[in-house]
Structure 1
């Protein structure tokens, strides 16, 4: 569990650095979030992504 959290933090950090333009022209990140309700309860999810040319980086929760 701790390793997963560290990996997610590292990806979020890289996404943030790319979005602020530390390595060149800034890239605007995309963000999506949703909440669902079903018989089994309420659940939330979301994703953060960067798209530049043919490369795409997405982090989903």
Structure 2
């Protein structure tokens, strides 16, 4: 029984059940940019 409770707690932790979901913060007005840019050349030797 002790192992079943441990397995249940592990499953809950693995799925991200840590509380109620929250809405994302609204961005302020204006121009906003985010992301990732990679520039380069890939060659095979």
Bucket of the pairwise TM-score, normalised by the shorter protein: 0.3 to 0.5
TM-score by length of 2: 0.39
Richer in strand (by share)? 1
- Larger gyration radius, structure 1 or structure 2: 2
Query: TM-score, normalized by length of structure 1?
Result: 0.29
